Chain A
Protein backbone atom coordinates (compact mmCIF):
# COMPACT_ATOMS: atom_id res chain seq x y z
CA UNK A 1 0.00 0.00 0.00
CA UNK A 2 1.26 3.43 -0.86
CA UNK A 3 0.60 6.26 1.47
CA UNK A 4 0.42 9.60 -0.24
CA UNK A 5 1.63 12.17 2.18
CA UNK A 6 1.03 15.84 2.10
CA UNK A 7 3.64 18.22 3.37
CA UNK A 8 2.01 20.32 6.02
CA UNK A 9 4.50 23.01 6.94
CA UNK A 10 8.20 23.80 6.55
CA UNK A 11 8.89 22.37 10.02
CA UNK A 12 9.10 18.94 8.40
CA UNK A 13 5.87 17.70 9.84
CA UNK A 14 3.87 15.56 7.51
CA UNK A 15 0.15 15.42 7.88
CA UNK A 16 -2.12 12.98 6.11
CA UNK A 17 -5.05 15.15 7.07
CA UNK A 18 -5.31 17.41 4.06
CA UNK A 19 -4.88 14.55 1.69
CA UNK A 20 -7.13 15.72 -1.14
CA UNK A 21 -7.77 12.24 -2.46
CA UNK A 22 -9.01 10.91 0.86
CA UNK A 23 -11.32 13.88 1.19
CA UNK A 24 -12.86 13.36 -2.25
CA UNK A 25 -13.10 9.66 -1.61
CA UNK A 26 -15.15 10.16 1.51
CA UNK A 27 -17.27 12.88 -0.12
CA UNK A 28 -18.08 10.54 -2.99
CA UNK A 29 -19.00 7.87 -0.48
CA UNK A 30 -21.41 10.27 1.20
CA UNK A 31 -22.95 11.22 -2.15
CA UNK A 32 -23.25 7.64 -3.27
CA UNK A 33 -25.06 6.58 -0.14
CA UNK A 34 -27.14 9.74 -0.07
CA UNK A 35 -25.88 10.67 3.38
CA UNK A 36 -24.56 14.15 2.69
CA UNK A 37 -27.00 15.58 5.20
CA UNK A 38 -26.71 12.88 7.87
CA UNK A 39 -26.31 13.53 11.59
CA UNK A 40 -22.89 13.39 13.22
CA UNK A 41 -21.63 11.47 16.24
CA UNK A 42 -18.49 11.68 18.34
CA UNK A 43 -17.64 7.99 18.55
CA UNK A 44 -17.64 5.44 15.71
CA UNK A 45 -19.13 2.61 17.78
CA UNK A 46 -21.15 2.67 20.97
CA UNK A 47 -19.84 1.42 24.26
CA UNK A 48 -20.80 -2.16 25.20
CA UNK A 49 -22.35 -2.73 21.81
CA UNK A 50 -24.24 -5.98 21.35
CA UNK A 51 -23.82 -6.52 17.64
CA UNK A 52 -24.39 -10.16 16.77
CA UNK A 53 -25.78 -12.49 14.13
CA UNK A 54 -29.44 -11.71 14.51
CA UNK A 55 -31.69 -14.03 12.52
CA UNK A 56 -34.84 -12.08 13.33
CA UNK A 57 -33.51 -8.76 12.10
CA UNK A 58 -34.56 -7.89 8.53
CA UNK A 59 -31.96 -8.58 5.85
CA UNK A 60 -30.29 -5.83 3.88
CA UNK A 61 -28.84 -6.00 0.38
CA UNK A 62 -25.62 -7.97 0.64
CA UNK A 63 -23.59 -6.49 -2.24
CA UNK A 64 -24.38 -2.95 -1.19
CA UNK A 65 -23.28 -3.64 2.39
CA UNK A 66 -20.08 -5.29 1.21
CA UNK A 67 -19.27 -2.40 -1.11
CA UNK A 68 -19.83 0.10 1.67
CA UNK A 69 -17.72 -1.78 4.24
CA UNK A 70 -15.03 -2.36 1.60
CA UNK A 71 -14.79 1.37 1.06
CA UNK A 72 -14.55 1.98 4.80
CA UNK A 73 -11.78 -0.62 5.09
CA UNK A 74 -9.86 1.32 2.46
CA UNK A 75 -10.37 4.52 4.46
CA UNK A 76 -9.19 2.83 7.66
CA UNK A 77 -5.67 2.54 6.23
CA UNK A 78 -5.16 6.19 7.11
CA UNK A 79 -7.70 6.44 9.92
CA UNK A 80 -6.60 4.45 12.93
CA UNK A 81 -9.52 5.62 15.09
CA UNK A 82 -12.11 3.60 13.17
CA UNK A 83 -10.03 0.40 13.09
CA UNK A 84 -12.04 -1.39 15.78
CA UNK A 85 -15.44 -0.32 14.49
CA UNK A 86 -14.51 -1.52 11.00
CA UNK A 87 -13.34 -4.86 12.34
CA UNK A 88 -16.74 -5.33 14.00
CA UNK A 89 -18.90 -4.50 10.97
CA UNK A 90 -16.73 -6.53 8.60
CA UNK A 91 -17.52 -9.68 10.59
CA UNK A 92 -21.04 -9.69 9.18
CA UNK A 93 -20.24 -9.38 5.50
CA UNK A 94 -21.75 -12.80 4.71
CA UNK A 95 -25.16 -12.09 6.20
CA UNK A 96 -25.75 -8.38 6.83
CA UNK A 97 -28.84 -7.30 8.77
CA UNK A 98 -30.49 -4.01 9.55
CA UNK A 99 -28.63 -3.75 12.87
CA UNK A 100 -25.25 -4.09 11.14
CA UNK A 101 -26.12 -1.43 8.60
CA UNK A 102 -26.96 0.88 11.50
CA UNK A 103 -23.45 0.32 12.87
CA UNK A 104 -21.98 1.13 9.44
CA UNK A 105 -24.08 4.29 9.28
CA UNK A 106 -22.74 5.30 12.66
CA UNK A 107 -19.17 5.02 11.39
CA UNK A 108 -20.09 7.21 8.42
CA UNK A 109 -21.65 9.74 10.80
CA UNK A 110 -18.48 9.74 12.87
CA UNK A 111 -16.28 10.17 9.79
CA UNK A 112 -18.42 13.06 8.67
CA UNK A 113 -17.91 14.78 12.02
CA UNK A 114 -14.16 14.21 11.99
CA UNK A 115 -13.29 14.45 8.31
CA UNK A 116 -10.37 16.75 9.09
CA UNK A 117 -8.54 14.25 11.27
CA UNK A 118 -5.45 12.36 10.18
CA UNK A 119 -2.07 11.08 11.19
CA UNK A 120 0.66 13.51 12.07
CA UNK A 121 4.29 12.65 11.45
CA UNK A 122 6.46 15.26 13.07
CA UNK A 123 10.16 15.52 13.60
CA UNK A 124 11.08 14.60 17.16
CA UNK A 125 14.13 14.86 19.34
CA UNK A 126 14.77 11.15 19.55
CA UNK A 127 13.58 8.05 17.79
CA UNK A 128 12.43 5.86 20.62
CA UNK A 129 10.25 2.93 19.72
CA UNK A 130 7.26 2.17 21.87
CA UNK A 131 4.49 -0.33 21.50
CA UNK A 132 1.23 -0.37 23.44
CA UNK A 133 -0.37 -3.77 23.76
CA UNK A 134 -3.82 -4.55 25.06
CA UNK A 135 -6.37 -7.32 25.05
CA UNK A 136 -10.06 -7.50 25.67
CA UNK A 137 -11.15 -10.77 27.18
CA UNK A 138 -14.14 -12.55 25.59
CA UNK A 139 -15.79 -9.42 24.25
CA UNK A 140 -17.52 -10.87 21.22
CA UNK A 141 -21.02 -11.99 22.20
CA UNK A 142 -21.28 -14.16 19.09
CA UNK A 143 -18.56 -16.63 20.02
CA UNK A 144 -16.83 -15.16 23.11
CA UNK A 145 -13.51 -14.75 21.40
CA UNK A 146 -11.09 -12.14 22.62
CA UNK A 147 -9.68 -9.16 20.81
CA UNK A 148 -6.02 -8.23 20.89
CA UNK A 149 -4.53 -4.99 19.72
CA UNK A 150 -1.33 -3.07 19.58
CA UNK A 151 -0.16 0.26 18.26
CA UNK A 152 3.43 1.21 17.65
CA UNK A 153 5.01 4.61 17.92
CA UNK A 154 8.35 5.61 16.44
CA UNK A 155 9.59 8.86 17.94
CA UNK A 156 6.09 9.64 19.16
CA UNK A 157 4.44 9.09 15.77
CA UNK A 158 1.95 6.34 15.18
CA UNK A 159 3.27 3.96 12.51
CA UNK A 160 1.48 0.64 12.78
CA UNK A 161 -1.61 -0.53 14.57
CA UNK A 162 -3.72 -3.62 14.65
CA UNK A 163 -7.02 -4.77 16.04
CA UNK A 164 -7.63 -8.48 15.70
CA UNK A 165 -10.25 -10.85 16.97
CA UNK A 166 -8.60 -14.09 18.00
CA UNK A 167 -9.14 -17.29 16.01
CA UNK A 168 -9.60 -19.41 19.12
CA UNK A 169 -11.55 -19.09 22.35
CA UNK A 170 -9.27 -18.31 25.27
CA UNK A 171 -10.13 -19.43 28.77
CA UNK A 172 -7.93 -17.09 30.74
CA UNK A 173 -7.69 -13.32 30.58
CA UNK A 174 -3.99 -13.33 31.51
CA UNK A 175 -3.30 -15.61 28.58
CA UNK A 176 -4.99 -13.29 26.17
CA UNK A 177 -3.05 -10.31 27.56
CA UNK A 178 0.11 -12.28 27.14
CA UNK A 179 -0.75 -13.22 23.57
CA UNK A 180 -1.20 -9.55 22.83
CA UNK A 181 2.17 -8.83 24.37
CA UNK A 182 3.88 -11.54 22.31
CA UNK A 183 2.22 -10.22 19.16
CA UNK A 184 3.52 -6.78 20.04
CA UNK A 185 7.03 -8.14 20.52
CA UNK A 186 6.68 -9.87 17.14
CA UNK A 187 5.83 -6.56 15.52
CA UNK A 188 8.88 -4.94 17.12
CA UNK A 189 11.22 -7.71 16.00
CA UNK A 190 9.88 -7.64 12.44
CA UNK A 191 10.79 -3.98 12.44
CA UNK A 192 14.29 -4.77 13.56
CA UNK A 193 15.26 -8.36 12.95
CA UNK A 194 18.88 -7.57 12.37
CA UNK A 195 19.27 -6.09 15.81
CA UNK A 196 18.19 -9.36 17.41
CA UNK A 197 20.52 -11.30 15.20
CA UNK A 198 23.54 -9.23 16.16
CA UNK A 199 22.57 -9.53 19.83
CA UNK A 200 22.40 -13.30 19.57
CA UNK A 201 25.90 -13.51 18.09
CA UNK A 202 27.36 -11.92 21.17
Chain B
Protein backbone atom coordinates (compact mmCIF):
# COMPACT_ATOMS: atom_id res chain seq x y z
CA UNK B 1 0.00 0.00 0.00
CA UNK B 2 2.34 2.72 1.27
CA UNK B 3 0.04 5.46 0.03
CA UNK B 4 1.80 8.14 2.01
CA UNK B 5 5.21 7.15 0.62
CA UNK B 6 3.91 6.93 -2.93
CA UNK B 7 2.54 10.43 -2.62
CA UNK B 8 5.92 11.53 -1.23
CA UNK B 9 4.34 13.11 1.83
CA UNK B 10 6.54 13.69 4.84
CA UNK B 11 4.45 13.73 7.95
CA UNK B 12 5.21 14.02 11.61
CA UNK B 13 5.20 10.82 13.65
CA UNK B 14 3.56 9.65 15.84
CA UNK B 15 0.10 9.73 14.40
CA UNK B 16 -2.60 10.80 16.83
CA UNK B 17 -5.32 8.35 17.73
CA UNK B 18 -8.19 10.25 19.31
CA UNK B 19 -10.82 8.50 21.36
CA UNK B 20 -13.53 9.73 23.73
CA UNK B 21 -13.41 6.66 25.96
CA UNK B 22 -10.82 6.72 28.73
CA UNK B 23 -11.10 3.04 29.60
CA UNK B 24 -10.39 2.06 26.01
CA UNK B 25 -7.24 4.18 26.05
CA UNK B 26 -6.06 2.61 29.29
CA UNK B 27 -6.76 -0.90 27.99
CA UNK B 28 -4.62 -0.06 24.96
CA UNK B 29 -1.75 1.06 27.21
CA UNK B 30 -2.05 -1.54 29.93
CA UNK B 31 0.38 -4.43 29.49
CA UNK B 32 -1.36 -6.54 32.13
CA UNK B 33 -3.76 -9.06 30.68
CA UNK B 34 -7.29 -8.76 31.94
CA UNK B 35 -9.61 -11.70 31.74
CA UNK B 36 -12.48 -9.46 30.91
CA UNK B 37 -10.73 -8.05 27.86
CA UNK B 38 -9.70 -11.44 26.53
CA UNK B 39 -12.22 -11.37 23.74
CA UNK B 40 -10.60 -8.30 22.23
CA UNK B 41 -7.15 -9.84 22.57
CA UNK B 42 -6.09 -9.64 18.91
CA UNK B 43 -7.20 -6.05 18.57
CA UNK B 44 -5.44 -5.18 21.80
CA UNK B 45 -2.15 -6.75 20.82
CA UNK B 46 -2.36 -5.09 17.45
CA UNK B 47 -2.93 -1.66 18.95
CA UNK B 48 -0.34 -2.22 21.67
CA UNK B 49 2.30 -3.16 19.10
CA UNK B 50 1.75 0.04 17.17
CA UNK B 51 1.86 2.01 20.43
CA UNK B 52 5.16 0.37 21.38
CA UNK B 53 6.62 1.17 17.97
CA UNK B 54 5.52 4.74 18.64
CA UNK B 55 3.72 4.75 15.35
CA UNK B 56 0.66 6.07 17.10
CA UNK B 57 -0.04 8.04 20.26
CA UNK B 58 -3.40 7.93 21.99
CA UNK B 59 -5.20 11.09 22.89
CA UNK B 60 -8.34 11.71 24.91
CA UNK B 61 -11.04 14.04 23.70
CA UNK B 62 -14.35 14.87 25.39
CA UNK B 63 -17.40 13.43 23.65
CA UNK B 64 -18.61 16.90 22.76
CA UNK B 65 -15.60 17.53 20.54
CA UNK B 66 -15.47 14.01 19.16
CA UNK B 67 -15.67 14.44 15.39
CA UNK B 68 -16.35 10.79 14.67
CA UNK B 69 -19.61 11.13 16.62
CA UNK B 70 -21.49 12.34 13.56
CA UNK B 71 -20.69 9.09 11.75
CA UNK B 72 -22.27 6.92 14.42
CA UNK B 73 -25.58 8.54 15.28
CA UNK B 74 -28.04 11.27 14.51
CA UNK B 75 -27.05 14.42 16.39
CA UNK B 76 -28.95 17.44 17.72
CA UNK B 77 -28.90 20.38 15.33
CA UNK B 78 -26.41 22.57 17.21
CA UNK B 79 -23.86 19.83 17.74
CA UNK B 80 -24.21 18.71 14.13
CA UNK B 81 -23.54 22.19 12.80
CA UNK B 82 -20.56 22.63 15.15
CA UNK B 83 -19.03 19.33 14.11
CA UNK B 84 -19.52 19.85 10.37
CA UNK B 85 -17.78 23.21 10.68
CA UNK B 86 -14.90 21.54 12.44
CA UNK B 87 -14.88 18.66 9.98
CA UNK B 88 -14.20 21.02 7.09
CA UNK B 89 -10.96 21.95 8.70
CA UNK B 90 -9.62 20.47 11.89
CA UNK B 91 -7.59 23.56 12.70
CA UNK B 92 -10.65 25.65 13.33
CA UNK B 93 -11.66 25.57 16.95
CA UNK B 94 -14.98 26.33 18.52
CA UNK B 95 -15.45 29.96 19.29
CA UNK B 96 -17.51 31.07 22.21
CA UNK B 97 -18.57 34.67 21.81
CA UNK B 98 -20.44 34.77 25.08
CA UNK B 99 -17.33 34.97 27.25
CA UNK B 100 -16.91 37.84 29.68
CA UNK B 101 -14.54 40.72 29.01
CA UNK B 102 -11.71 40.75 31.55
Q: Which residues of A contact B (CB under 8 A)?
A: 42-43, 45-49, 80-81, 83-85, 117, 119-120, 122, 124, 126-136, 139, 147-151, 153-158, 161-163, 172, 174-175, 177-182, 184-186, 188-196, 199-200
Judge if B32 is at the interface, Cβ distance under 8 Å: no
How many interface residues does chain B have, given as a range?
35 or more
Judge if B53 is at the interface, Cβ distance under 8 Å: yes
A188 touches B56 (CB 8 A): yes
Write the B22-63 contact mask toward A (1 if CB under 8 angstroms, else 0). Answer: 011001100000000101100110110010011110010100
> Chain B residues near A80 (CB, 8 Å)?
71, 87
A181 touches B55 (CB 8 A): no
CA–CA, A64 and B27, complex, Å: 47
> Chain B residues near A190 (CB, 8 Å)?
1, 3
Instruction: Give 16 A-B pairs besides A42-B77, A188-B17, A191-B3 with Cβ atoms closer than 8 angstroms.
Output: A47-B74, A81-B80, A84-B72, A127-B12, A129-B12, A154-B9, A157-B89, A158-B88, A174-B37, A175-B40, A185-B46, A186-B46, A189-B55, A191-B4, A192-B5, A199-B54
A84 touches B28 (CB 8 A): no
B96 → chain A, closest Cβ, in Å? 20
B75 touches A128 (CB 8 A): no
Q: Which residues of B contact A (CB under 8 A)?
A: 1-5, 9-13, 15-21, 23-24, 27-28, 37, 39-40, 43-44, 46-47, 50, 53-56, 59, 61, 66-77, 80-81, 84, 87-91
Q: Is the interface of A mostly helix, strand, loop or mixed?
A: mixed
CA–CA, A80 and B73, complex, Å: 13
Q: Sample 10 A-B pairs with CB under 8 A, ordered by A number.
A: A83-B71, A134-B71, A134-B72, A174-B27, A175-B37, A177-B21, A177-B24, A191-B3, A194-B2, A199-B53
